[in-house]
Structure 1
C-alpha cells in the first residue's frame, strides 16, 4: 500500500480512502463511542454479538446476523455490552439512485447476502480496488433493497416530550415486573388516557408494545452472555413461562430464540 495514502486516510478519516467501496472486517470490535459522521454510506453486518446504533432520536438494535444501512452524512455512535462483537463495515462512496439508500434500514441478512459478505472479506482494509472488487461490491450494493425485509421493532423510539422521559426510564428499569399503567401516568403527571394517546403519538407504539420491546431487547443481551437457559431468561425479563416468552420474541424478532447455553 502507498504510505502517503495510508497517512492521508488516518489524518482525514474514511472519506479520504481512494476506493469507491472500502471494507473493514474485525473480530472483537471496539468502536469509538463518540458521535461521528462521514460522507460515505455505511453498511454494517454484525456477525457475532449485537450492537446499538444511536442515530438522531432513535436507537437501533442490530443483533447477530443482521445489517444496518446508514445514509451519507448521518451522525451516529455505537454502544454494546456484548461479550464479543465481530463486525464488517462496507463504506460506499457512491450508490444507485434509489430512495432506499437515503433512509436507515435494519434487517436480517439473508443467506445469499451473508455469503457475499464472507467472500468480500478478502478485500479487508484494501485501500485500492481492482475490477472484481468494484464489480462485486457494486452488485451487492445494488441488491440491498431486494434483500431488505425490515424489522421496525428493532428501533427503540425516544420521545421528545419530556413528560415521557420518566415513563421510559421506569419501564427500562422495571421491565421484569408486571406494573399498572396508572403508575406510569402518575410519573408523567397526566391521566392514563392522555398517557396512552401521547405516548403512541410520540413513539409510534403503545406503552404495552414499548414494554414488550424492551423485554425482548434485554433478553437478546442475556442470551449473548451464554450464562442462562431460555427458561431462566424468560423469567428474568418478566414472562411467566417459556412459551409466552418464545411467542413474544418471535413477534419481535421474526424467529424463535436460541440459547447459547446448554441445559446441564
Structure 2
C-alpha cells in the first residue's frame, strides 16, 4: 500500500495498528531527532525504549509516564500508547521483541533509570541498528538484555502522573496543570469539581492514589525537566518558574521525585 507508514520497522496500515513484516525475534531501531505524531497506536511486539537525549511522555491507560534522558520504558505487546514531547531533540533506541519470558515483569509497564551496566549493553547494541537479517551474536545479546531487565529494574514509580477516571476531577487536573506556579486554592478547585473541599480531597486521593499537593509537586517537577532540557535557564530561574520560592526547596523536591539532583545542560 502506497500510504503505509513505517515506524521502527513496523508498518502502520489502518486504525493505528501496526503490521509486523520482520521475521527475526528482536531488533533495535536507533532514531536521532525523533518526530512525534501523538497518535495512539499498538503493535504485537513488546517495546523497550531508551531515551538517550531529551524526554518523552507516554500516555498509557489512565497514566502519563515521563521518560527523561537516560531512562527506559518497558511496554508489553498489544498495549495501546501515545507519545508526546516538547523537547528540542529526542534521540531514542527502540528495541522490539516478538516473544518474552513468562515472569510477571514483562506483562506490565515499567519506567526506570538505566544502570551503568545496562547502558553499556544498550549502546553496544546500537551496532545492529535497523538490521533485520538474522545474526547469532545479536540474537543472544538481545536475549541477555531481555532476561536481565527484571533484575536491573529499580522502578521510578514517581515518574507517572495518574489521570482520574471521574470526569468531575478533570477540570481540577487541568487547572493545576495550567497554574502549577501558584499555591493550591482548594476552595476554587472544589468549586470546579462541584463538590466540597473535603469530598474533593477524599475522591482525588481515591482516584489517583496521591494527594492534590503531591499531584502539584509532580507537575512542577515534570515542568522543570522540560525547562532544564531547553538549556535556556539557570536552576534558580527554573525553580522560580515552576513555583518554588528558593533553589534549595526546588532541589529538595526534585531530588525526592527524581532520586538525583537537578543539573542544567552544559
Aligned equivalent of 2:3: none
Taking the aligned partners of 2:87 and 2:46, their CA distance within structure 1 comes to 25
**How far is 1:97 from its partner?**
1.1
Decide which moves more: 53-62 or 178-187: 178-187
Per the alignment, in what secondary structure is the counterpart of residue 219 of structure 2? helix
* Displacement over 6 Å in runs of 4+: none
Aligned equivalent of 2:123: 118
Taking the aligned partners of 1:104 and 1:156, their CA distance within structure 2 comes to 14
Taking the aligned partners of 1:197 and 1:17, their CA distance within structure 2 comes to 49
Q: How does 1:32-43 map to 2 (within 5 A)?
A: 32-43=37-48
Taking the aligned partners of 1:125 and 1:253, their CA distance within structure 2 comes to 32
Structure 2, unmatched stretches of 5+, are: 1-5
Taking the aligned partners of 2:201 and 2:11, their CA distance within structure 1 comes to 49
Aligned equivalent of 2:113: 108
Structure 1, unmatched stretches of 5+, are: 1-5
Decide which moves more: 85-94 or 152-161: 152-161
Q: Any conservation in 1 of the 2:38–2:82 contact (CA below 8 Å)?
A: yes
Taking the aligned partners of 1:111 and 1:14, their CA distance within structure 2 comes to 34
Relative to its length, the structure with more strand (as a share) is 2
Aligned equivalent of 2:141: 136
Q: Does 1:153 align with 2:158?
A: yes
Q: How does 1:125-204 map to 2 (within 5 A)?
A: 125-204=130-209
Per the alignment, in what secondary structure is the counterpart of residue 51 of structure 2? strand
**How far is 1:14 from its partner?**
5.8
Aligned equivalent of 2:253: 248
**How far is 1:147 from its partner?**
0.9
Taking the aligned partners of 1:103 and 1:238, their CA distance within structure 2 comes to 34
Taking the aligned partners of 2:12 and 2:105, their CA distance within structure 1 comes to 31
**How far is 1:153 from its partner?**
1.3
Taking the aligned partners of 2:259 and 2:193, their CA distance within structure 1 comes to 33
Equivalent residue pairs, number: 255
Taking the aligned partners of 1:224 and 1:121, their CA distance within structure 2 comes to 24
Taking the aligned partners of 1:48 and 1:157, their CA distance within structure 2 comes to 25
Relative to its length, the structure with more helix (as a share) is 1
**How far is 1:31 from its partner?**
3.6
Per the alignment, in what secondary structure is the counterpart of residue 177 of structure 1? coil
Aligned equivalent of 1:214: 219
| 1:182-220 residue CA offsets vs partner (Å, 9 max, x unmatched) | 221111111111111100000010000000000000000
